[in-house]
Chains A and B, each alone.
Chain A
Amino acid sequence: MARQSLLNKLRENPDLTRQIKAFAQTTTIPLRLIDSEGKILWKSDFFRSKANLCSLLQSNGFSTGTCFRAHKEAARESMRWGEAIISKCCYFMMQITSPVMEGGKRVAQLVASPFLLVDPSELQPEELTFFSRGKLEKREALEKVLSSVPIVKDEEAREAAQELFRLADRLSDPDLSGLIKVREAQALQGKIADQICELKNLDRDFTPHSLSKLFYEREREIIVKIRLGDRDRAKEILHQLLAIILIQYLEDFELLKISILELIIILSRAAVEAGAKIEEMLGMRYGFITELSGIKDQETLCLWVVKVLEKLIGGIYETRHTKNYQRIKKTLDFIETHYNDPLSVEQIAKEVYLSPSRLSHVIKSELGITLGDYISKVRVEKAKVQLKDRELPISQIALGVGYPDQSYFTKVFKKIEKCTPKDFRQNVIEPQVIQ
């Protein structure tokens, strides 16, 4: 059934057949379309020559069953990762596999193999065991045929894998969007794992106190990024926030949901402040709560939060004047890279092609704080990081973040952090280290 419909699809879409052929030609990797029973539906020219590696091995007493099982296993793994899989076939050759689906079921797989990542002369004896297992008189023929196996550079193999997945997507009915979702979920979980790993590297002791403090810091950061509509950075911080929440509530799904809900309310409030229409946001928020109650597992929950963030930022984009937006982003990027220079409003205004008074106005209305206050905040944040190094004199830190006068630095620091840099080092940083 499935075989027939696939064959029909190939027959009716000459374009598709052309694309498959083009894959084999441009990547030089031999390609086969194999159905779930092991029948080859399409093969590239490599397999038409009788003396190709695979048929030689098979005529040498190796069963096709082993190959087929390896293909099936790779296709199964590919489904779990949601992308084409690069792996070794049973004869130490490389293969790329992607499943072809129909109505949510795997009906066939595209297998691009054999190819090598290194020159055959570099292969070690243990990688060529099939040579010694075969009959001796065929050895020469095998060696010759091995030289016909294409050698593909690692980065080309990566591109080939992406292309193979796209081909499988076109062959599938309706497509591989289900797998793409799997990949997204895997990728997001991977990013959250990275964030947890980073938190662990910071030697955080993970007390409820230190975690909630960290959460609060990140929350403030994400609000600024949402206001700016800085999607990428906001997403990155969201991964950190999710990591902190997951460390705390991994074992209690209901608590996990509640803290996610809290987070969403804060995010949507930031969106309103940034200019999204309040009525729309309220409607959206209602929608979010209903959606949230229907979510039953952690993976879906995390994916959903990322989507929510995108919707919220999208809401701001629609109502906001994008011209200002680019300017603000440019301004903040400039401050981020030049915080250690003596900065003046005039200088920054020149950088972003605005008059100083216009720039001040735009920043105040969009960020809610003055440009001067923002610069101080950035400098203090940078100083806080440097204060962790106890060997570094405070005067040097002050100079390093753009304050030649240490007493002025202390004054600014105190205004923002409500304590002096020295106290901050002693009371906030050191206890963490000792614990």
Chain B
Amino acid sequence: MIQGDRKNYSMEISPFSVGDKVEKTLYQLKQLVVQKDCNGVKTLTERMVKEGMDLFSILNRGLIPGMLEASDRFRKGEFFIPELLLSSRALKFGLNILRPLIQEIRKDVLGKVVIGTVKFDLHDIGKNLVIILLEGNGFEIIDMGVDVSPEKLVKAVEKNGAQILAMSSLLTSTMSWMKFTIELLRASGMHRRVKTMVGGASVTPIFAKNIGADAYCREATSAPSVAKKLLGIEENGQTVFAK
């Protein structure tokens, strides 16, 4: 079964309704990331933390949507590398405040994830967002970077004893490398204890199914819930078992 196929509404960017102060502040934070305003992000995140706002809301509904919007603009050609770098710098300012606080709450590691963009693919914006989201949700991440060969990915899984192998590929021309990686994982016999999840602009549910991936991520924001489902971890009071 392919999971994560449907939109994960709980992680969706909520449209901001007038009068709701929390929503308004979150929206403001998102805009600050898009506007590349590092100091603004820093000050507002600090203020929100001080006011006792939910840390995960700040992350999932403020900072991350801002970065998503920035990468969307990059895709459309409205932003270029310098703008994108500045937006991700702004994001980092916010993350630096949240990270230690979140780690305090979540001392237990939910699982280990090896992640990488497959061979010949250099796109890492989506992958980096997935990393932030997974880390924020209590996963330990081993980031293998971009243009990673199947051998390297499988070796990293083995060496780190990871439970999940996450792969990203933006281009149709590089997607086959996900297939080769899953095949190699099978050949190594680890596929029984290691789950695979795939995502990226060109990846479709059909493709994910055809190459034998355990889960398909529709968008970066659904990665944490997909990963949790894969490991059979309780979410929203329900236990969801992976196949």
- Residues on A lying within 8 angstroms of B by beta carbon are 77, 80-81, 85-86, 88, 94, 117-118, 122, 124, 126, 154-155, 157-158, 161, 186, 189-190, 192-194, 196-197, 200, 206, 246-247, 250-251, 297-299
Q: How many A-B contacts at CB < 8 Å in the complex?
A: 78
B13 at the interface (CB under 8 A from A): no
CA distance A379 to B118 in the complex (A): 45
Q: Within B110-147, which residues are at the interface with A (CB < 8 Å)?
A: 122, 147
- Known contacts: A250-B172, A298-B172, A299-B173. The answer to whether A196 contacts B86 by CB under 8 A is no
Tell me the smallest distance from the CB of A356 to a CB of chain B, in Å: 41
Residues of the B chain whose Cβ atoms lie less than 8 Å from the Cβ of A197: 201-202
Contact present for A189 and B81 (CB under 8 Å): no
Q: Cβ of A206 and Cβ of B204 under 8 Å apart?
A: yes
Taking Cβ atoms with an 8 Å cutoff, the residues of B that contact A are 36, 38-39, 75, 80-83, 85-86, 93, 96, 122, 147, 170-173, 175-176, 179, 200-202, 204-207, 210, 218
Please judge, given known A-B contacts A193-B172, A299-B173, whether A158 and B81 are in contact too, CB under 8 Å. Answer: yes
B80 near A189: Cβ-Cβ < 8 Å: no
Contact A247 B204 (CB under 8 A): yes
B221 CB to nearest chain A CB (Å):
14
The answer to whether A86 and B172 have CB atoms under 8 Å apart is no
Interface centre among B93, B147, B171 (most CB of A within 10 A): B171
- Tell me the smallest distance from the CB of B219 to a CB of chain A, in Å: 9
Closest to A207 in B: B206
Distance A211 CA – B171 CA, assembled complex (angstroms): 20
* Chain B positions within 8 Å of A298 at CB level: 172-173
Contact residue among A80, A86, A124 (Cβ-Cβ distance under 8 Å from B81) = A86
Contact A77 B204 (CB under 8 A): no
For A85, A124, A193, the residue with the greatest tally of chain B CB atoms inside 10 Å of its CB is: A193
- Chain B min CB distance to A335 (Å): 27
A154 contacts which of B75, B86, B201, B207 (Cβ < 8 Å)? B86
- For A247, the closest partner residue in chain B by CB is B204
Contact A206 B205 (CB under 8 A): yes
With contacts A124-B93, A158-B82, A247-B206 taken as known, whether A189 is within 8 angstroms of B171 at the C-beta atoms is: yes
Q: List 27 A-B contacts (CB under 8 A).
A: A80-B122, A80-B147, A86-B81, A86-B82, A117-B82, A117-B86, A118-B38, A122-B38, A124-B38, A154-B36, A154-B82, A154-B83, A158-B80, A186-B171, A189-B171, A190-B170, A193-B170, A194-B75, A196-B201, A196-B204, A197-B201, A197-B202, A200-B204, A246-B172, A247-B207, A251-B210, A299-B173
Question: Which residues does chain A contribute within 8 Å of B36, judged by CB atoms?
Answer: 154
Contacting pair B175 A250 (CB below 8 A): yes
- Residues in A with CB closer than 8 Å to B147 are 80
Q: Could you tell me the distance between the alpha carbons of A299 and B173 in the complex, rounded to whole angstroms? A: 6
Residues of A within 8 A of B96 (CB): 126
**CB pair A190 B171 closer than 8 Å:** yes
Residue of A nearest to B39 (CB): A122
CA distance A115 to B201 in the complex (A): 33
Are A194 and B93 in contact, CB atoms less than 8 angstroms apart?
no
Q: Which of B81, B82, B83, B172 contacts A192 (CB under 8 A)?
A: B172
Instruction: Give A153's nearest chain B residue, CB to CB.
Output: B82
Bound complex: CA A303 to CA B93 (Å):
41
CA distance in complex: A193, B207 (Å): 14
Residues of the B chain whose Cβ atoms lie less than 8 Å from the Cβ of A200: 204, 218
A189 touches B122 (CB 8 A): no
Chain A residues lying within 8 Å of B210, measured Cβ to Cβ, are 251
Chain B residue at minimal CB-CB distance from A197: B201
Please list the 5 inter-chain residue pairs (A to B) with the smallest Cβ-Cβ separation, ordered nearest first: A154-B82, A193-B201, A189-B171, A157-B82, A197-B201
Instruction: Give chain A nearest CB distance to B222 CB in angstroms.
Output: 12
User: B3 → chain A, closest Cβ, in Å?
Assistant: 16
Give chain B residues whose Cβ lies under 8 Å from the Cβ of A126: 96
Chain A residues, Cβ within 8 Å of B202: 192-193, 196-197, 246
